[in-house]
Amino acid sequence: MTREITRKPAPGAMMLILILALFALSLFMLIGGAADGALGPILLGVAGIVISVVLSIGFFIVNPNEAAVLVFFGRYTGSVKRNGFFWVNPFTVKTKISLRARNLNGEKLKVNDQAGNPIEIAAVVVWEVESTAQARFDVDDYEEYVQTQSESAVRHLATSYPYDSREDGEPSLRGDIEGVSEQLEKELGDRLGRAGVRVIEARLSHLAYAPEIAGAMLQRQQADAIIAARAKIVEGAVGMVEHALEDLSRHEVVQLDEERKATMVSNLLVVLCSHQEAQPVVNAGSLF
């Protein structure tokens, strides 16, 4: 792992003044030597002008939220993260790297979840370069590395959870978005740390069953919802019947034997749990 070195190069304004002064002096000597016919001042003037031109190659500008990685004859000499106008050895190679936060909008991936169901999943990753030395030297292309590792992390995440939980409390891709996003962010941080990249945020941007099973899974979800609703209705109906029998007995409205209690319970449950509106039957005769 390459360790980042923060470097403070020479101020560009000061070096610009010195180089312009050297260029002006060299030009003056060249003109003076040519006027006097003296070879020495001419050679010194030409050499000074050439040196001034070569030295001017060392100027560079670092914009806000940008860094410059400096390499001198194959040796990493440091990174400039402070914005401004600077000068370094003209034979130093200067590579600019953006420090701005970037969005990676991943493509939809078709994978199998933990239960083996084919699903479509995609994620949005917000990231930034934290170590310019690692981004420049520890990986071949850090932007491509981020894209490839993000896709790999999303695939691994999809196979680690079921799309939908079958039991209460079981984490799933659809039912535990916050937990899944935290897990994705942690895994991406571990993977991208090698490239000197810090993950700011990672969230799922798309999650759905694959088209070939979407219809069947929708029917299953509807069936689960119907079962849950019917269970709630039956639970409420039983409570209402129990409460009705207790009130009738407590207030001595009517005396019912066990057989007629069973008949009453059956009728009330049919009325309360029926999908359709019950049709009342009026008994005009004796109860017994």
Grade residue 167 by pLDDT with cuts at 50, 70 and 90: low
What domain range is 226 assigned to? 214-273
Check residue 36 and give its pLDDT.
78
Count of the separate structural domains present in the chain:
3
Gyration radius of the chain's alpha carbons: 39
Same domain, 56 and 72: yes
Q: How far, in Å, CA of 153 to CA of 200, rounded?
A: 15
Query: Do 61 and 35 share a structural domain?
Result: yes
Is 102:127 a contact under the CB 8 Å cutoff? yes
What mean pLDDT value characterizes the chain? Answer: 84
Same-domain status, 144 and 222? no
Which tokens in the block code for residue 95? 């590579």
| Band of residue 125 on the pLDDT scale cut at 50, 70, 90 | very high
Those residues with Cβ within 8 angstroms of residue 20's Cβ, 6 or more apart along the chain or in another chain = 52
Check residue 142 and give its pLDDT.
Answer: 94
Among candidate residues 64, 80, 97, the one where a domain is terminated: 97
User: Is there a single domain that holds both residue 150 and residue 241?
Assistant: no
pLDDT computed for residue 271 by the predictor:
66
**Does the pTM of the predicted model rise above 0.75?**
no
pLDDT at 251: 66
